[in-house]
Amino acid sequence: MFDFTKMSKNMGKCVMVSIAICLLMVAVKPSFSLAQLRPNGDISKTINLKVVPAQPPYVNVFLDMAPVNCPITPYIENGYTMVPIRALGESLGATIGWDSKNKVVTYSKGELSLLVTIGTSTINTKDGKILSMPQPACLVNGTTMVPLRLFSEILGYDVAWDDNTRSVYISSPEEPVEIWGFYALGSLNYSSWQDLFGSNYPYTKSPCLAEDMEGIFAGWFFVQEDGTVTAEQNPTGFQKPSGWPSVILEAKRHDVEVYSMYFADHQHSNISAILEEQVLRGKLAKDISIMALEYDGVLIDFEGLGLDPSKADSDMRNFNAFLDELSGLLGDKPMGVAVHPLNSAYKGYDHEYIGQIADFIVLMAYGYEDMSIPTPTAPFDKVDEAVKMEIELVDPQKVILSIPAYGTLYVTAGDRTYLHSRPPAKDGDIKFSDNRVRQMHERGFVPQYLCNYLEWEDLQGRHQAFLEDAVSLKVRLNLTKRYGIKGAAIWRLGYITETVLAPVELVE
């Protein structure tokens, strides 16, 4: 986890998060429509939602401003929107069952249990009540489709319809989200302290983000090539900041847990070689266990394992052996492990075993951007796939989704397109002067990207930016509810906006 502001040569407490969705739609260009939203407490700024209109009879379905992957595209029949009950129900945290003999679907969530029979327009509840639907449930290529009104009128979810883009917006109820933050790689302009405690070091302000956070991962330790651990100045920047004891004291005062984080990779650490040597591996585990004594827990962040397919199996075995040894030395002290997702190029992680031995996993589901093709760092399809693959192997309540507080900016000059930088969320409000911008497409949040998209041209060439802000971070935080996972971790403190936890409301 590097500070991505510029490109280098080598590449217990919960917060209530809710987003009220939409609908004031105006056309932007033929392929998009735009909804205007406004963050609470900042009436000077509106937020645009860009959506590609669906073609009749089909409709778009969004849950908390993120797409819903459906095996059968939702459609309108006899004036009613039909949606797949399993895809939408599971996204809302329900358990869906199927009785193939009687062609009955069960929808269960908490104390609620519904029986939906194919071909009928009635629903039976667990307590014997019979409810009516405006359209019978039906099977389409093996998928049960039900009227959307099941979710709005019977289950009580807020549902809105936009005729301009043929889009359905569903808002789930507020639920607590456990939030962690990475306290690492800070600087004067991107201060982790300021993001966490609300003021310049060494001062604090209330309210501040620390009041809503479960804990921080203090990225202050780096594993060197010889297997030793340093907290002093080093090429990666993972080192103790000046005044670090104040961070721990203030965190304790705000009831925020502090985990010491240990970073290693191939470029700076040759971590595969260290893990392969039994003596070095054992000494590293012992050193970490000693350094961790003054912290609430440990986060191991050894990146890049298994990039070489020929070493993936050995990396996996050696990392498991290291975690075994470290876990024994730590005793009751919690141990978390940061891992690349299963849909990444890094295959040196035994996710199932790590999920058993670790107290939790931090899933780094970002970094999917291409170096020469304009792409967001964490689009919905990749994040959705990564989390679903992970919770097939690991208890969802052990999975923390790491979310990026930075975007990607591409420049095309002539026939060359390249990744120019990764702008932090707090720098996402890009300003233009008329004399340098020749053409610009309006900024807007794109659900499929889980972030904002902005495009402009100037004398340097064409610029395409995928930008994070308070809205996109809220959408990402809300994904934790969809998957039923432990929580989310923001990479990193120092990058986020002041309004990151403020609710978002429709501009009426």
Q: What is the mean pLDDT of the chain?
A: 89
Does residue 483 have a pLDDT over 50?
A: yes
- CA distances 123 to 117, 137, 151, 337, 462, Å, are 7, 10, 12, 45, 55
> Could you read off the pLDDT of 222-231 as tens digits, one per residue?
999 999 999 9
What is Dmax (Cα atoms) for the chain?
71
Whole-number pLDDT of residue 437: 83
- Taken in order of first residue, the domains within the chain and their CATH numbers are 25-171 (3.30.457.10), 175-506 (3.20.20.80)
What is the DSSP code (8-state) at residue 86? H
> Could you read off the pLDDT of 124-141 as tens digits, one per residue?
998 899 999 999 999 999
State the pLDDT confidence band at 174, using cuts at 50, 70 and 90: confident
Whole-number pLDDT of residue 65: 94
Pick the range with the lowest mean pLDDT from 17-26, 139-148, 270-279, 436-445: 17-26
Burial of residue 42, with CB atoms counted within 10 A of its CB: 0-12 exposed, 13-18 middle, 19 or more buried:
middle
In 150-206, which ranges are E strands? 158-162, 167-171, 175-183
State the pLDDT confidence band at 175, using cuts at 50, 70 and 90: confident
Whole-number pLDDT of residue 362: 99
Whole-number pLDDT of residue 47: 60
> Could you read off the pLDDT of 416-457 as tens digits, one per residue?
999 999 999 999 887 776 667 877 788 899 999 999 999 999
What percentage of the chain has pLDDT greater than the value 90? 80
Structure tokens, 242? 């000046």
